[in-house]
């Protein structure tokens, strides 16, 4: 229950929806993370191996089109979530600690909010909100401080950085409000 969780979470979360083989999983993973960080096979396959060894997922070689039953055909390996894996996933989705709202983990956690309990969702959103608020105030302070001593480009960089943080802050606040509303009306 330690380690890099966020990675495992992403894999298990995707496999929950449907069994997949590595190549396809990688594409979904990249899309999930936001079209940016395309994770590499050198990372993915060992991770899948480890999850299989831990019993969280099961490997099944599938010969999609039932061609000649020869072993020459490099079979695709389809991974599916086991019962044990489903429980582990549930456990991971309970976590409402810092890992869930810090930069590295938040996106993935948010993507699986549909499978996350209301209370947990709210705690994560609140955690992220306060994290962003803290960052915003730090940036404001440093901007007010530097104002004169710092060159124009660095200033502009920080100004734009602050803008981005405040933007996400407003987004989160909107989400919190929406969560509260659906909670009150019962859906």
DSSP string, 112-173: TGGGS-HHHHHHHHHHHHHHHHHHHHHHHHHHHHHTTTS-HHHHHHHHHHHHHHHHHHHHHH
Interaction partner, residue 158 (DNA, its own copies, none; CB < 5-8 Å by kind): its own copies
Q: Is 73 in the site for DNA (CB under 7 A)?
A: yes
Q: Nearest 5°: phi and psi at 61? A: -70, 125
Instruction: Rank residues 73 and 160 by Cβ distance to its own copies and give the closer one.
Output: 160
**Distance of closest approach, residue 84 Cβ to DNA, in angstroms:** 20
How far is Cα 79 from Cα 67, in angstroms, rounded to an integer? 21
Q: Is 48 in the site for DNA (CB under 7 A)?
A: yes
Instruction: Rank residues 72 and 185 by Cβ distance to its own copies and give the closer one.
Output: 185
How far is Cα 160 from Cα 15, in angstroms, rounded to an integer? 38
**Distance of closest approach, residue 135 Cβ to its own copies, in angstroms:** 6
**Distance of closest approach, residue 165 Cβ to DNA, in angstroms:** 19
**Distance of closest approach, residue 60 Cβ to its own copies, in angstroms:** 24
> H or E stretch including 59?
strand 57-62
Chosen residue from 18, 31, 46, 174 binding DNA by CB under 7 A: 46
Instruction: Rank residues 59 and 179 by Cβ distance to its own copies and give the closer one.
Output: 179
Q: Helices 41-53 and 22-32: crossing angle, nearest 10°? A: 110
Task: List binders of DNA among 125-164 (CB under 7 A).
Answer: none
Report, in this order, helix, strand and coil percent for the chain, each rounded to 5.
65, 5, 25
**Residues of the shown chain interacting with its own copies in the complex, contacts defined by CB under 8 A:** 31-32, 34-36, 103, 107, 110-114, 135, 138-139, 142, 151-154, 156-158, 160-161, 163-164, 167-168, 171, 175
């Amino acid at each position: 229950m330690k380690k890099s969780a966020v990675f495992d979470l992403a894999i298990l979360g995707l496999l929950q929806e449907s069994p997949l083989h590595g190549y396809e999983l990688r594409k979904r993973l990249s899309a999930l993370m936001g079209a940016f960080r395309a994770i590499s096979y050198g990372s993915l396959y060992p991770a899948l191996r480890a999850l299989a060894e831990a019993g969280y997922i099961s490997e099944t070689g599938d010969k999609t089109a039932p061609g000649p039953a020869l072993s020459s055909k490099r079979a695709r390996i389809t991974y599916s979530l086991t019962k044990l894996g489903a429980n582990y996933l549930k456990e991971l989705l309970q976590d409402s600690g810092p890992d869930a709202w810090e930069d590295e983990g938040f996106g993935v956690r948010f993507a699986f909010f549909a499978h996350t309990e209301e209370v947990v969702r709210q705690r994560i959103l609140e955690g992220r909100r306060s994290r962003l608020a803290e960052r915003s105030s730090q940036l404001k302070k440093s901007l007010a401080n530097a104002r004169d001593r710092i060159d124009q480009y660095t200033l502009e960089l920080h100004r734009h950085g602050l803008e981005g943080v405040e933007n996400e802050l407003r987004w989160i606040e909107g989400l919190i409000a929406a969560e509260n509303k659906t909670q009150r009306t019962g859906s």
